[in-house]
Chains A and B, each alone.
Chain A
Amino acid sequence: MTMRPLYLFASVGVMVLCTVFFLSIMRGGSPERMPVAVVDHDHTSISRRLCHEMQATPSVDIVLITSEYPEARRAMQRGEVYGILEIPDGFYSDLVAFKRPEIHFYVNNAYTVGANVAYKQFLTMCNLTSGAFQREVLRKKGLPDYLIMKRIQPVAIQAHMIANPWSNYAIYLVSTILPGILGLVVLMLTIFAIGFELKSRSSRRWLEVAGGNYTIAMIGKLIPYTILYLVMGIGCGVILFRFMHFPVYGSTWRLILGIILLVFAMESMAITIIGLLPTLRDAISIGALYGMLGFSLSGFTYPVMNMLPAIQAWANLEPLRHYYLIYVNEALMAAPAINSLPHMLALCAFFIPALLVSRRLHNALVYQNYPLK
């Protein structure tokens, strides 16, 4: 293992790089100051006031004020702005004449995250404009402010974002991405470690050292790797949930147990894959295809319930999916242990296919009857 710097780079280097990368790009937590454009056909004090008030909010940044819609649209097509607010000609005069001038806004859905921020802000601004106007009219009618506000807003929604009240993207994404990357590293390197014995035709010697016993050979080979992976897995958990203070409302220990089981499940899947395809080249390619799909199939971005039924079934075959559900139970929902138990058992069940292929893999190690490349 220490002979090849690749192992150390691939495991430790990749994890450190990804941890630093993902934690640093999402330092802010949620997107702020998204660039938007305003098309002002009106050029009055009220349209400028609208711009100023919007500029004063943290979520958007007006980078372009123009009186030509095509110019703003071109800026959007170049990816420079995520949204356009269009204030019609004669906005001010129509407003005071009760002619209900219409504001248009456009968001660029080709970039969802930025567009969502711009959309929410535009929606709020438009409703506030109506509200501010009503307030002025009611004031003129002589109503006191505290009564006005209740007339303007008869219904209010108090939204509670459970366990992540800041809608912090870092907490949401990194908690699953980092263990996912660890799982992928474990999968690929375990395939590599076993497959390389086959490729370099050293598998017989490896078995001889273990006294010809397949189980001892396998355990002996995987122990140093496993220790390394577990240290990284626990380290990853400690960094996220202790140092970075990502909220865990349930048990941190059970969450870390989930990461540990994820490591073992990924090792088992690696043995299964190299056992089914005892050629390093094929196993690596198939392993990469299988492992990368885990991120999408875990359902942390796009819910599994909206996938095709066949794909939903497949999602259960990805260890990361079960880790994600344990994470939801433990960190966000503070659910009792019984809720995480089925997923922990599912992660343990990944041992079974690894045991089933042991005969085939043993034969491959002894007879070396598969192509080299």
Chain B
Amino acid sequence: MRLERILYTWWLKLKESTWVFTNELQRVFRDPGVMVIFVVATIAYPILYNCIYWKDNVENIPVAVVDLSCSPESRDFLHRWNACPDVTITHTCASMAEAERLLRDQKVHGIIYFPTDFAKALNSGLETAHISLYCDMSSFLYMKGIYLSCNKVMLESMNGIQIDRYEAMGMNEEFAWSLVQEAPYTETALFCPSGGYAAFLIPAVLMLILHQTLFFGICMLGGTAREENEELFRLPGARRASVLRIVIGRAAAYFVIYAALSAFALLLVPRLFGLPHIGNPLDIMRFTVPYLLSVIFFSMLVSTFIRNRESGIVLLISTSLIFLFIAGVSWPQEMLPKPWLWLSYTFPYTWGVHGFLHINSMGATLAGTAKEYIALWIMAAVYFVLTCGMMTLLGWWSEREGNNWRAKSSGMYE
């Protein structure tokens, strides 16, 4: 008898949770503003970002040449350099002043300068020949492309010259070769073989898009409810707050919507646009579960402080770039000052983005990124408890205010 009753109350509670769940889904689908953020932004942004970072690597950076030595050696160097994918020699100038003008007008992003004595120094067999390279620092990718490609050409042609010089010293060719390349090396770029910018940035941006749209959407819904005097912590008609049922029901609604959206953003988009995707899709999905839950509860906690529908935008604009930098993606985590590092550990995005990069881009298994996975579950639990706590407080406050109001109004009529 007693057991039956307990089961019955639980059944009722479950039914109420399901009601909250379907009701929340209806609220989302009936609200075009939230739909734009949830669905349109989550689908449009990944596509847009892929169009922006279309070529992945920066190719054919225009550079100018000032060749005062006019020698076969400098021409050979330039031929090799021009053959690098990174740069294209677009201008050949007679003087530095001319090249500087081109750089200033942003027609070129680098200048290479061979002094008059370049060939003489090389052929003397004793001197070091100098090349000057000027890099436009307006974007570090220009500098990286120009500098690294020039360095590679330099090393390559240097070996040829060294061999000539050693042969001139009376060594045989084989020995000269082994001397020059005594410790050869092979370099392997793991995980993103192209080393491109898109392959590095977009996976992190995908996680950020999921985070920020969910965050902004939930803040919007919370703000709307406040504006319309809906009480989010109470079931309609109920006198007491029923926090647990509501939090679980609403979170389930967001989770269902985002399970589909994250499958699109995290599984489909990398395959569509040729981004790294060497992880096991099942592991990614399993990792996404605590990520979405922690983001949902984090956003619900923040949304309890929000009074207006649009206030969330303030948080959105101030946090997007901060999240990206504090998580240690655009800027190495090791370089963060300690207080910022500790703060970053309280955001689900920090753990989520590293875990996703580990699995998706670096092919780790779920066990290989256990630290992030466990941290996200802990975050989800902590933010769930805090959200419930805030909701209870809100319910308690509004009950007290309601009582005060009732007391006041009854006092007026006496």
Contacts and interface: CB of A to CB of B under 8 A. Distances in A.
A271 to B, nearest CB: 17
B141 A79 contact: no
A127 B162 CA distance: 13
Contacts of B321: 18, 177, 181, 295
Nearest to B137: A164
Contacts of B41: 285, 289
Interface stretch (B6-14, B239-247, B306-314): B306-314
Interface string A120-133: 00110011011001
B136 A162 contact: yes
Interface in A318-373: 325, 328-329, 332-335, 339, 373
B274 to A, nearest CB: 15
Interface residues of B, number: 113
A154 B129 contact: yes
Given A109-B190, A303-B58, A14 B184 contact: no
B400 interface: no
A372 B257 CA distance: 26
Interface residues of A, number: 113
A188 B313 contact: yes
Contacts, number: 324
B144 to A, nearest CB: 7
Interface in A282-301: 282, 284-285, 288-289, 291-293, 295-297, 299-301
A233 interface: no
Given A107-B189, A154-B161, A300 B52 contact: no
Contacts of B144: 116
B361 A110 contact: yes
A247 to B, nearest CB: 10
Interface stretch (B173-181, B260-268, B291-299): B173-181
Interface string A153-175: 11111111111100101001000
Contacts of A156: 128-131
B199 A109 contact: yes
A147 interface: yes
A151 B143 contact: no
Contacts of A95: 182-183
A77 B322 contact: no
Nearest to A331: B138
Contacts of A158: 130-133
B332 A98 contact: no
A303 B369 contact: no
A342 to B, nearest CB: 11
Interface in A81-132: 82, 95, 98, 100-116, 119, 122-123, 126-127, 129-130
Nearest to A168: B137
Interface stretch (A20-28, A219-227, A234-242): A20-28
A150 B203 CA distance: 46
B373 to A, nearest CB: 12
Given A21-B340, A285-B33, A78 B368 contact: yes
Contacts of A123: 151, 185, 187
Contacts of A195: 310
B365 to A, nearest CB: 9
Interface of A: 6, 9-10, 13-14, 17-18, 21-22, 24-28, 31-35, 74, 76-79, 82, 95, 98, 100-116, 119, 122-123, 126-127, 129-130, 133-134, 137, 147, 149-164, 167, 169, 172, 177, 181, 184-185, 188, 192, 195, 280-282, 284-285, 288-289, 291-293, 295-297, 299-303, 306-308, 310-311, 325, 328-329, 332-335, 339, 373
Interface of B: 31-33, 36-37, 41, 44-45, 48-49, 51-55, 58-59, 61, 103-106, 122, 126-144, 147, 150-151, 154-155, 157-158, 161-162, 165-166, 175, 178-195, 197, 199-201, 203, 216, 224, 276, 308-311, 313-314, 316-318, 320-322, 325-326, 329-332, 334-337, 340, 354, 357-358, 361-364, 368-369, 371
Given A6-B314, A289-B44, 17 more contacts: A31-B334, A77-B364, A98-B178, A100-B184, A103-B183, A111-B329, A122-B185, A164-B137, A282-B36, A288-B216, A293-B52, A302-B139, A302-B141, A307-B53, A311-B51, A311-B52, A332-B136
